[in-house]
Structure 1
Amino acid sequence: MHRHLGKVVAGTALAVAGTAVMVAITLPGTAGANETGGTNGDGTRAAQQTGQGPDAVRPGVVEQAPAAVKKGTGRDPLTDDEMQRVEKIALNKQLLTSGENVDGDHGPQRLSVDLADPEADELDDPAAPRRADVTFYDYRTDTLVTKTVDVESGKVVRTGTQHGVQPPLSRAENAEAAELLIADPLGAGLKADYKDATGRELTSADQLLLNGAVYRATPGGQPAVLDKCGEHRCVRLFPKVKNGPWIDARWLVVDLSARKVARLAH
């Protein structure tokens, strides 16, 4: 096989499993729908029971009752309901309108929602408040924003901002980095390797399984266009053909903040 990015790396496929939950609502049947007779012999009763005729009674519709919010206790991991609730609380109007996500849209990029560590004087308290750290990255200002929310009261108890701090990348950020690479002239080798492996054109990040690592600049260790990596959010991608080999793209770095791609020296 011809190699365009140095080599296509064979490896074990990564399985990404999703779980779909389907909720079925069964409507009650119409009583006596199979009856063919009527009290007056003209079929009026049967017509009413099967939803026909001017005086027919329409079948009732049962609406699903709102699901109760599931809550954890103590140091239990946050439930899905708790995570959704605290994220909504943390993303207030000001942050939503002033921040920018990896796609350039309004609102910061969501990174993680985790159970916060207890305070020092709460370590042995089984009734200590449950708090959640909700972390965002604001691409407009290259700022990591962490909001700590009291899970029970729903109040934001602490807000922290940091520059030059680069936590692990989210799935959305890896996908955007791949889209930028595919659209850039430096992505030609990636696309050629993909076509060699599959016989198809690579046009979207959805065609790949993606892992990524944060890249930080070192003095003189990269092209000048990447010198702000660390202050900017930059990523080295490790793409894999779905049900196929890895493609070696380690020499390419995507600056998500500047939306630029550069090649490191071999």
Structure 2
Amino acid sequence: MHRHLGKVVAGAAIAVTATAVMVGVTLPSDASGQEKGAAAGRDGGPQSSTAEQGGSARQQSAVVESAPVQGKTGTGRDPLTDDEMKRAEQIALGRNLRDSGENVTGGKGPQRLAVDLAELSPEEVAQADPPRRAEVSYYDYKDDAYVIKTVDLASGKVADTETQHGVQPPPSRDEAREAARLLIADKLGDGLKRDYKDATSRALTGPDQLTVTGFVYRVDEENAGPAALADCGKHRCVRLFTRVVNGQWIDTRQLVIDLSDRTVHRLG
């Protein structure tokens, strides 16, 4: 099954304010660190198949990892079971990309986004026992690529791989947390730290002290943006709704964190 990755829509533009001050912000009832869409599925991890090489080099490098134990499976259009998700992740995350990919913190392997039940073709919908496939999606910070691998759960093989650049699915919880960490460490995060201190009488030293929700920021024909953020869209850039844990909201929406080059910028 081919999935058109261009259908993933970046987060809507949000009005900004002049300084990072405490405000009352009303979020959608489902805002929880992820948006609906590509990142709204269960966290998963993915990967690409190993490239073939010629001659004896191919014989030496073609080490095939056995598929993980099948475990508990669902039927029909039942949601993926925990066992199916784990199995899909292990199959999708082949050795090649696990070694060459890069996650949001710069570690090995691509950034996990989601594991979802794959859509069926019109012909498959009418079948009494349609195939069960999982779509494992991730973002590879090595080359700013959004990738979806479709795993056939019955055969234990990757059935399809799609890769696109310039497509930005909503950020995962881990990505929002890393964006908050970069903001706190940056000079532009001083306003956030002052407001946190005012609200709690404690110093803000890390993202675990906050509840954060990330939204994609991109520059395009409808949003020219400042010159310093011209790469947002090709790069993975986010804005944050930031809140003291179980406390007040602190408005940081005027700040943009470029996760690809790990820099922080101010709008306006």
TM-score band by shorter chain is 0.7 to 0.9
- For residue 120 of structure 1, report the CA deviation from its aligned partner: 2.2
Question: Which structure 1 segments of 5+ residues have no match?
Answer: 17-66
Whole-Å separation in 2 of the counterparts to 1:134 and 1:97: 17
Taking a change above 3 Å as real, the CA distance of residues 176 and 250 of structure 1, as seen in their structure-2 partners, is same
Aligned residue in 1 for 2:167: 165
Give TM-score scaled by structure 1 length: 0.76
Taking only aligned residues, the RMSD between alpha carbons, in angstroms, comes to 2.2
Aligned residue in 2 for 1:244: 247
Aligned residue in 2 for 1:254: 257
Aligned residue in 1 for 2:228: 225
Whole-Å separation in 2 of the counterparts to 1:253 and 1:68: 42
Deviates more, 1:218-227 or 1:4-13: 4-13
Within 5 Å, give how 1:1-266 maps onto structure 2: 5-10=19-24, 69-218=71-220, 221-265=224-268
- For residue 223 of structure 1, report the CA deviation from its aligned partner: 2.5
Tell me the amino acid that sits aligned with residue 90 of structure 1: A
CA contact (8 A) 1:233 1:257 kept: yes
1:205-263 Cα shifts (integer Å, max 9, x gaps):
00000101000114673232211101111000001101111110010000000111000
CA contact (8 A) 2:20 2:195 kept: no
- How many residue pairs get aligned? The number is 213
CA contact (8 A) 2:212 2:241 kept: yes
Percent same amino acid at aligned positions?
A: 59
Give TM-score scaled by structure 2 length: 0.75
Name the structure, 1 or 2, with higher relative contact order (CA <8 Å, separation 6+). Answer: 2
- For residue 151 of structure 1, report the CA deviation from its aligned partner: 1.2
SS at match of 2:107: coil
CA contact (8 A) 1:5 1:193 kept: no
Whole-Å separation in 1 of the counterparts to 2:188 and 2:70: 51
- For residue 126 of structure 1, report the CA deviation from its aligned partner: 2.6
1:168-207 Cα shifts (integer Å, max 9, x gaps):
1111100000010000000000000100000000000000
Taking a change above 3 Å as real, the CA distance of residues 149 and 106 of structure 1, as seen in their structure-2 partners, is same
Deviates more, 1:214-223 or 1:133-142: 214-223
Whole-Å separation in 2 of the counterparts to 1:218 and 1:143: 18
Whole-Å separation in 2 of the counterparts to 1:95 and 1:83: 19
Whole-Å separation in 1 of the counterparts to 2:70 and 2:102: 33
SS at match of 1:105: coil
Taking a change above 3 Å as real, the CA distance of residues 253 and 99 of structure 1, as seen in their structure-2 partners, is same
- For residue 119 of structure 1, report the CA deviation from its aligned partner: 1.5
Aligned residue in 2 for 1:24: none
CA contact (8 A) 1:5 1:190 kept: no
- Higher radius of gyration, 1 or 2: 1
Whole-Å separation in 1 of the counterparts to 2:220 and 2:233: 9
CA contact (8 A) 1:175 1:210 kept: yes
Taking a change above 3 Å as real, the CA distance of residues 263 and 11 of structure 1, as seen in their structure-2 partners, is closer
